[in-house]
Amino acid sequence: MKLIDWILRILAAVILLQTLFFKFTGSPESIYIFETLGVEPVGRYIAGIAELVSAILLLIPRTVALGAFGGVMVMAGAIFSHLGPLGIEVQGDGGLLFILACTVMGCCVVLLRWRWSQFLSYLPRR
């Protein structure tokens, strides 16, 4: 189980981190995506920072639940964008970005489920 846990964490973190280059360097595909969503350039930078923070938190054992929650939130936005204005396929990518978003979402959902009590411990108590 521990090996699967690490595989899910590393897979999600690597996917999140590899997309940062394109967001922060202003690649034409990233600009197209965020212009289509009407939030270029601020949305691109905010998404990139959220992905960076989530990836880092996923790799730290004490903060995996927070990283997984962040990953779920960021990928929910990405998936809904693909199901809406962007479409599954973006600029002839064959749906690769959508598949990567679904992969990260799946990894993060499993990780969050496994660490639900850890996640709840971060919430304020009444």
Asked if omega into 41 is within 30° of 0 (cis), the reply is yes
Domain boundaries, given as residue ranges, for the chain = 2-122
Q: Please name the residue that has the structure tokens 């598949």.
A: 99
Query: Would you say the pTM of this structure is higher than 0.85?
Result: yes
Evaluate the CA torsion angle 107, 112, 114, 118 in order and state its sign: positive
Q: Cβ distance 74 to 47 under 8 Å?
A: yes
pLDDT in tens, 34-79: 999 999 999 999 999 999 999 999 999 999 999 999 999 999 999 9
